[in-house]
């Protein structure tokens, strides 16, 4: 059966490329997706699937009931884009100024729609039920996964699988990471309140910019001096804003940054340390600190049994020599929420190809992937489904 499904996928591959390119030309930002979920829902309805829209907000869930009894397996694809100007020179370049698919979510969507199409044509031969989760807003905290789960997208699901096209892996490969695969991601905002004044009279001010500079340095000591070196962690200050004129001492400054961890104790410790260091650094100079620590996605942990199934499928699909075992990523991914509810796995599908300039990293203005990754992703999903039967 798998061979015939693969043959059918290859027949509709041009259609899937067309879907991907349409999504790429007309991207929509997180929590602003209107046309994209409508296109997805219409496609699934035309296949005869049961379709729920506005799941958890803007999500779409399709259900295919097989003709034979069996388990319920879910697959997930995300469909939001990023606030980045597309700098590629291709015919399917984004038509929306300042917005582009710079992470491959268009590829994920096209591949899962392809899976739905080929399975809908043989549904009487399928064991169990297949759930197609098309998720909005993966790129922006709080994300779409959590609200979709709360709205029942995982009800009755026995296992879930997801893929992410990865430009750092070459086309024709799949990356497998057992256990911790992607980090928890948090955001912090720190407002420093000082006392402004004339640049020529610093002695009667509390310079928030200087305090902020000290704080940036002090925050770097958290990972190097407060965290077990065997437990990965990142504290990055991403923005530092203060002042409006060259001869004025700023009364306020603000910092924002991100924290990445795998271990919950480390995560809690870093949050505590950021609060303590911000307040003590400011108080030592007579300033005040307001800290807002925002918990983002949890770490993504691949269940051993299911990632091993995924590895077996990947080896059968591409050959042992084309299976990669990358280190865990400090990037975050709200697929982690699904894996906290039901067992499953998340894998990385290679999309890099320097011959077509598909070599730029995720979130780069020139990001692109080899579109054959659509086919590989879809074949992976189909193979996992039959392995789960």
Chain centroid, CA 220 distance in Å? 26
Provide the token pair at 196: 């402004």
189: enclosing H helix or E strand: strand 184-193
Specify the 3-state DSSP secondary structure of 166: strand
Sign of CA dihedral 244, 248, 251, 254: positive
User: Do the beta carbons of residue 162 and residue 381 sit within 8 Å?
Assistant: no
Q: How far apart are CA 331 and CA 81, in angstroms?
A: 16
Does the active-site annotation cover 42?
no
What long-range pairs does 369-373 form, CB within 8 A, spacing at least 24? 369/104, 369/107, 369/165, 369/167, 369/171, 370/171, 371/17, 371/20, 371/107, 372/171, 372/172, 373/104, 373/107, 373/111, 373/165, 373/171, 373/349
Check 138, 186, 263, 333 and give the catalytic one. Answer: 138
Q: Which of 28, 78, 80, 311 is catalytic?
A: 80
State yes or no: is 80 an active-site residue. Answer: yes
Helix (H, G, I), strand (E, B) or coil at 266: helix
Buried b (16+ CB within 10 A) or exposed e, 137-166: bbbbbebbbbbbbebebbeebbbbbbbbbb
Using a 10 angstrom Cβ sphere, with 0-12 exposed, 13-18 middle and 19 or more buried, the burial of residue 320 is exposed
Cα–Cα nearest to 6, from 133, 144, 118: 118
- DSSP conformation letters of 229-241: TTS-EEEEEEEEE
Strand partners, 252: 193
Q: Report whether 67 contacts 80 (CB < 8 A).
A: no
Backbone φ, ψ for residue 227 (5° rounding): -115, 140
Q: Which residues, 6 or more positions from 128, have their beta carbon under 8 angstroms from its beta carbon? A: 66, 68, 69, 70, 71, 72, 73, 389
Active site residues: 80, 138
């Amino acid at each position: 059966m798998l061979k015939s499904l693969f043959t059918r996928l290859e027949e509709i591959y041009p259609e899937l490329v067309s879907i991907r390119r349409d999504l790429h030309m007309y991207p929509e930002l997180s929590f602003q997706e209107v046309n994209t979920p409508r296109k997805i829902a219409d496609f699934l309805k035309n296949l005869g699937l049961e379709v729920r829209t506005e799941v958890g907000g803007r999500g779409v869930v399709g259900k295919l009931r097989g003709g034979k009894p069996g388990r319920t397996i879910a697959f997930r694809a995300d469909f939001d884009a990023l606030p980045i100007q597309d700098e590629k020179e291709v015919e399917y370049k984004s038509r929306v100024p300042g917005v582009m698919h710079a992470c491959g979510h268009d590829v994920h969507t096209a591949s899962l729609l392809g899976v739905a199409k080929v399975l809908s044509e043989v549904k009487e031969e399928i064991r169990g039920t297949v759930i197609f989760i098309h998720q909005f807003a993966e790129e922006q905290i709080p994300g779409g996964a959590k609200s979709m789960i709360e709205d029942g997208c995982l009800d009755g699901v026995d296992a879930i699988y997801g893929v992410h096209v990865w430009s750092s892996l070459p086309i024709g490969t799949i990356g497998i990471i057992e256990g911790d695969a992607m980090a928890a991601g948090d955001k912090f905002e720190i407002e420093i309140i000082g006392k402004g004044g004339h640049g020529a009279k610093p002695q009667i001010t509390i310079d928030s910019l200087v305090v902020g500079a000290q704080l940036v340095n002090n925050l770097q000591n958290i990972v190097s001096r407060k965290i077990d070196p065997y437990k990965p962690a990142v504290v990055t200050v991403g923005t530092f804003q203060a002042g409006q004129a060259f001869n004025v001492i700023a009364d306020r400054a603000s910092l924002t940054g991100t924290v990445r961890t795998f271990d919950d104790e480390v995560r809690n410790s870093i949050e505590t340390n950021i609060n303590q260091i911000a307040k003590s650094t400011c108080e030592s100079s007579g300033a005040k600190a307001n800290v807002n620590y925002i918990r983002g996605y949890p770490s993504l942990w691949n269940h051993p049994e299911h990632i091993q199934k995924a590895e077996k499928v990947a080896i059968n699909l591409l050959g042992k020599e084309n299976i990669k075992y990358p280190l865990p990523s400090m990037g975050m991914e709200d697929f982690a929420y699904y894996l906290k509810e039901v067992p499953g796995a998340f894998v990385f599908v290679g999309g890099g190809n320097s011959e077509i300039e598909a070599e730029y990293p995720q979130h780069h203005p020139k990001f692109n992937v080899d579109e054959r990754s659509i086919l590989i992703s879809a074949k992976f999903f189909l193979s996992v489904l039959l392995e789960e039967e």
